């Protein structure tokens, strides 16, 4: 019996099917943008544990900060006895936030928890209940975040009913016929047909959809949304859980549009590989909730906060934002070249180093090819590259390589992608 079969069998026997594991590779150790399996095989990591490792696996500065924190204490619960790393991190996030008004930050553990808290804060501060999100969006796996998520399979099917008073509007997805005008018109229709704007607490949007397939919200759409929120007193929530922490070449993707959100949800690469999430927001909104209304036992773990402080140092000292831009240029050029070679690539898109290809059966009809995307990910892993699929149709290959990956390693990974695309032809 091969190791892979044994592993698949053990996973199937011990872990529910719902936890899907498309690549049966047992992680053994990792460094930077590389992972080795239990057999000593090396993989280039273009997944980063789903956008968590913008500074790479086990960055030495992050590991040193975590080790120092482990020597001091691992847990008190911030509400029981506060600690410096949480406070310092909040201060630094408040300075970094693209909001020109006093801001405050709460830390949590997972992205879904950050979105849940952003909804709670928005509802509390507006005394309204309705929340608007977008088709194709992904906001987490808890019941409220699933209500906001705009992708049925595999996330929502069979898990309802979801919390009430949530509404979806088409995302302005250019490749699939969406536009700023259509999405704005849909919002106007929603306000006429389903929910009056004076009852809407918040609109939540990913500036670039992650799970949804790296669809980019036009910058003018984000600005129009800001204007609309201002007109109706609606809280603008930017879900920067996947786009955040430098992935698009700016610390937050909304900065490309010059838009100032009211609340920003953060997670993933914030903790440099340790579980940490947060909500940054205007102090006036954040402070509407009474003492005790927000928090959690493990929320803002001191170990994760220490890691995040080190991540911020790495961003400053290693010029990660500039490197993200350069990595984006390199990846985009190679993907565009592949597009001229392989007709199954219908689209190349992204912002900064958040780039993807959309696979289609036919470039004219744009019929999605999810089976090719799954095969590509499996074949690439056999050649030593870890890739992730995405998209409402599951036909997008997204690239989330550590921003610290050298140009040579990034190029090597892209060559494997190109070879794998050749295999499929």
Ligand X SMILES: Cc1ncc(COP(=O)(O)O)c(C=O)c1O
CA–CA separation, 398 and 348 (whole Å): 10
Q: Which of 241, 314, 380, 397 forms a contact with ligand X (CB under 6 A)?
A: 241
Nearer to ligand X, 56 or 140 (CB): 140
The one segment of 1-9, 107-115, 158-166, 329-337 that binds ligand X by CB under 6 A: 107-115
Q: Which of residues 256-295 bind ligand X (CB under 6 A)?
A: 267
Considering the complex, what minimum distance in angstroms separates the CB of residue 6 from ligand X? 28
Q: Which of 24, 85, 136, 140 forms a contact with ligand X (CB under 6 A)?
A: 140
Nearer to ligand X, 59 or 151 (CB): 151
Nearer to ligand X, 149 or 420 (CB): 149
The one segment of 234-242, 250-258, 307-315, 317-325 that binds ligand X by CB under 6 A: 234-242
Q: Does 65 bind ligand X (CB under 6 A)?
A: no
The one segment of 136-144, 197-205, 252-260, 379-387 that binds ligand X by CB under 6 A: 136-144
Q: Does 239 bind ligand X (CB under 6 A)?
A: yes
CA–CA separation, 405 and 340 (whole Å): 26
Q: Which of 128, 139, 323, 398 forms a contact with ligand X (CB under 6 A)?
A: 139
Nearer to ligand X, 46 or 191 (CB): 46
Q: How many residues bind ligand X (CB under 6 A)?
A: 15
Q: Which of 46, 86, 138, 191 forms a contact with ligand X (CB under 6 A)?
A: 138
Sheet holding 27-31, edge to edge: 27-31, 34-37, 42-45, 385-386
Residues whose CB falls within 8 Å of the CB of residue 422, separated by 6 or more in sequence, listed in order = 342
CA–CA separation, 400 and 134 (whole Å): 22
CA–CA separation, 220 and 259 (whole Å): 10
CA–CA separation, 160 and 214 (whole Å): 26
The one segment of 175-183, 239-247, 295-303, 397-405 that binds ligand X by CB under 6 A: 239-247
**Structure-block tokens of residue 77:** 């619960």
Q: Does 131 bind ligand X (CB under 6 A)?
A: no
Half-sphere exposure of 374 (CA within 13 A, CB side): 9
Q: Which of 69, 103, 110, 304 forms a contact with ligand X (CB under 6 A)?
A: 110
Q: Which of residues 340-399 bind ligand X (CB under 6 A)?
A: none
Q: Is the peptide bond before 161 cis (omega within 30 degrees of 0)?
A: yes
336 backbone dihedrals φ, ψ, rounded to 5°: -65, -40
CA–CA separation, 134 and 3 (whole Å): 42
The one segment of 2-10, 134-142, 193-201, 357-365 that binds ligand X by CB under 6 A: 134-142
β-strand partners of 278? 107, 266
Considering the complex, what minimum distance in angstroms separates the CB of residue 412 from ligand X? 26
The one segment of 8-16, 82-90, 104-112, 314-322 that binds ligand X by CB under 6 A: 104-112
User: In Å, what is the CA distance from 395 to each residue of 49, 369, 371, 372?
Assistant: 19, 5, 7, 7
Nearer to ligand X, 112 or 357 (CB): 112
Instruction: Please answer whether residues 132 and 122 qualify as being in contact, where contact means their C-beta atoms are separated by less than 8 angstroms.
Output: no
**Of all residues in this chain, which one has the CB nearest to ligand X in the complex?**
111
Q: Which of 106, 115, 225, 305 forms a contact with ligand X (CB under 6 A)?
A: 115
Q: For the chain, how far is it from start to end, CA to CA, in angstroms?
A: 31
- Altogether, the residues listed in the chain come to a count of 425
Q: Which of 166, 180, 215, 242 forms a contact with ligand X (CB under 6 A)?
A: 242
Question: What DSSP assignment string belongs to 136-155?
Answer: T----SSHHHHHH---IIII
**Structure-block tokens of residue 177:** 């016929």
Q: Which of residues 199-218 bind ligand X (CB under 6 A)?
A: 206, 210-211
Considering the complex, what minimum distance in angstroms separates the CB of residue 282 from ligand X? 20
Q: Which of residues 20-59 bind ligand X (CB under 6 A)?
A: 50
**Structure-block tokens of residue 161:** 């009913």
**Burial level of 339, CB count in 10 A (0-12/13-18/19+)?**
middle
Q: Does 402 bind ligand X (CB under 6 A)?
A: no
Positions touching ligand X (CB under 6 A) are 50, 110-112, 115, 138-140, 206, 210-211, 239, 241-242, 267
């Amino acid at each position: 019996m091969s190791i892979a079969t044994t592993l698949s069998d053990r996973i199937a026997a011990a872990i529910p099917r719902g936890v899907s594991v498309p690549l049966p590779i047992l992680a053994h150790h990792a460094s930077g943008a590389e992972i080795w399996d239990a057999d000593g095989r090396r993989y280039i990591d273009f997944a980063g544990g789903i956008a968590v490792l913008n500074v790479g696996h086990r960055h030495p500065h992050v590991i040193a900060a975590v080790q120092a924190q482990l020597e001091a204490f691992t847990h008190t619960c911030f509400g029981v006895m506060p600690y410096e790393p949480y406070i310092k991190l909040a201060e630094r996030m408040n300075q970094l936030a693209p909001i020109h008004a006093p801001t405050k930050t709460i830390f949590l553990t997972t992205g879904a928890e950050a979105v849940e808290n952003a909804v709670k804060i928005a509802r509390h501060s507006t005394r309204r209940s309705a929340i608007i999100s977008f088709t194709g969006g992904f906001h987490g796996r808890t019941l409220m975040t699933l209500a906001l998520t705009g992708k049925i399979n595999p996330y929502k099917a069979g898990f309802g009913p979801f919390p009430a008073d949530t509404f979806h509007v088409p995302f302005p997805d250019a490749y699939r016929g969406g536009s700023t005008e259509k999405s704005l018109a849909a919002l106007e229709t929603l306000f006429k047909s389903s929910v009056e704007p004076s009852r809407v607490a918040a609109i939540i949007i990913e500036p670039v959809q992650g799970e949804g397939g790296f669809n980019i919200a036009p910058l003018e759409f984000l600005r129009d949304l800001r204007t609309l929120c201002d007109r109706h007193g609606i809280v603008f929530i930017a879900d920067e859980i996947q786009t955040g922490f430098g992935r698009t070449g700016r610390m937050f993707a909304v900065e490309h549009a010059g838009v100032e959100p009211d609340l920003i949800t953060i997670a993933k690469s914030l903790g440099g590989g340790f579980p940490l999430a947060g909500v940054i927001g205007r102090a006036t909104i954040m402070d509407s909730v009474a003492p005790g209304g927000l928090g959690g036992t493990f929320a803002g773990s001191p170990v994760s906060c220490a890691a995040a402080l080190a991540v911020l140092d790495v961003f400053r000292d290693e010029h990660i934002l500039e490197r993200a831009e350069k990595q984006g240029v390199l990846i985009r050029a190679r993907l565009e070249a592949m597009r001229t070679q392989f007709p199954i690539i219908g689209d190349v898109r992204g912002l900064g180093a958040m780039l993807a290809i959309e696979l289609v059966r036919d470039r004219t009809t744009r019929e999605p090819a999810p089976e090719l995307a799954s095969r590509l990910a499996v074949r690439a892993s056999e050649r030593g590259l870890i890739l992730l699929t995405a998209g409402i149709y599951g036909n997008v290959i997204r690239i989330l390589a550590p921003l610290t990956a050298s140009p040579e390693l990034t190029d090597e990974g892209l060559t494997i992608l190109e070879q794998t695309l050749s295999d499929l032809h």
